[in-house]
Chain A
Amino acid sequence: MSGRVKDTGNTVGRSRGRADTARRRSAVAWVVAGAIPLAFLTVFFAWPVATLIGRGFTTDGALDLSGFAEVFARPRTWRIIRLTLAQALLGTALAVLLGLPGAYVLYRRTFRGRALVRAFVTVPFVLPTVVVGVAFRSLLTEGGPLGFLHLDGTFTAIVLALVFFNYTVVVRTVGGLWERLDPRTEQAARALGAPPWRAFLTVTLPALTPAIVSAASVVFLFCATAFGVVMVLGGTRYGTIETEIWIQTTQFLDLRTAAVLSVVQLVVVGVSLALFSRARARRERALDLQGRPTDEQTAQRLRLWNRRRPGGDLLPTVVTSAVVIVLLALPLGNLLVRSLRTPDGWSLGNYTALGTTGGDNALTVTVWEAAANSLRIAVDATVLAVVMGTLVALVVSRRPRNPLGRRAVWWLDAVFMLPLGVSAVTVGFGFLITLNHPPLDLRSSAVLIPIAQAVVAIPLVVRTVLPVLRAIDPHLREAAGVLGAAPWRVLLTVDGPFLIRSLGLAIGFAFAVSLGEFGATSFLSRPDRPTLPVVIFRLIGRPGPENYGMALAASVVLAVLTATIMGVAERLRREGTGEF
């Protein structure tokens, strides 16, 4: 009898020891998994950016804040800050105002062709900024379809292009939540005597607020750090902190001013990010309360007329149609049409010219060569971003038992959002001043651009994969464990299938971001190996209808390339994947 008891005790002791070892081993594995991307981010993001900031604060190794005083004493600085904030606020407000009816029509109502419109609305977001700039310019320029509005080179044109860009963000973020709101809450309000508009204001809008705030912060972030669009549309009169950093560095060679401006931008971005993360926390809390209504309950048929009177759907439908046709379709259609027009009439001349280096040898390589460059770089950048981003998402999706681990996971999540906010120009500029001398001299290395683009794309990969992993019911992992799966097999058999589903979209995002990346690339690309956006920007800066025509054709090529990749990725997406 006593022997049996002792025996049992031994077994328990031994298995506890084994469990401890296993737990330790798995903890070590997770720490390593987190350390790899963290090291990457430290070397290729934190270090360059920190060095850059250091430039703003020090002169010859001593603390020196005179740079700030000097930069802030210039009226030009204040004008740039004012312009940056004004266009970001206006762009955000307009995007939200127009995006709300869009979210309603596209996510709360069904109609024939909804899937098509939804897909089309996504296109602008993935379009390279340079392409958007070129598209708006060809629309608004003298002699363009909307030339009579005289908006070319105006502040309005920039804001409109920003809204074009970010409309999708609002529609998708808000629509994603709206789709899941139980319509019966609003019906309860209606039954309690609230007319439709009051039910919307008092019940639906408060429920949507977290998503709206979240979308607005992201849009604000994108607008405040807009580069390509402003570079193409703003000319010399309008700029943002972002373009100013570029101008100070490349035109005036004033690295100190550029560094100070980078710090200013970091502050602006930091505040927005803080708001963003708070809004996200609230959003997750708000969603806990919702059940999952069925499609039948949430998506009703679009009804413009109700017993021959204008129905509640009329206004949002009109607004959304106007936005989709005038703001989204017109610039893109116009870009396509114009790319087919040459001085000798309609022809594919602009496209055949892509095999040349442009009028007066505007370029050092042909556009097709640049496109091949872009694709090669995009493959490298995508591999880097997806590997790093997935590691981060896997680590961050864990829920460690001890508070230390939980805090570490929280920090890792927050830290990897930073590149989303720190402007690409700052990253490129930082690379330029840190990675061009020992210990790490990558100046002439072909990996520099892919690394910079990967830094920009990692947050998007994380934000695409993480929600999917977080949505896995922890009980599922526990069930697998109880059924005898070792931790690595749980990861493989439970997380794996979810991960793979979201990976298609993540790859698409990373690829599209890399193809269109202009901010960092414009600093880092070498004249003999430019990417497509760089070439387009150079072409529109050169005189001659031939170069302009080539820029249009190249923009179409780039747009089609990104849209195709996103289209394929989108097909792999499942309902409710990702945040954008």
Chain B
Amino acid sequence: MNCKEISRIASQAMDRPLTLRERVSVWLHLGICDPCRNFVSQLRLLRAVLKQQSHHAENDEKVVLSHSAREAIRETLHQH
């Protein structure tokens, strides 16, 4: 398999278990291909950073509903 095919399977590996055949193909390819190894590391890094920073962002108390949005929601809730 070439880099294009490997990159597609490496992306799917983030979302589903690979077949044995696919795992062997990716493993063999990564053994000889630095760019694809970097690609896989980057995908894992993106996921790790997104998970961590999203968790921070959910708890960042500086980010709040705007006054107008809050009042609009309050108004809507009162009507129900």
The reply to whether chain A is a binding partner of chain B is: no
A contact residues vs B (CB 8 Å cutoff): none
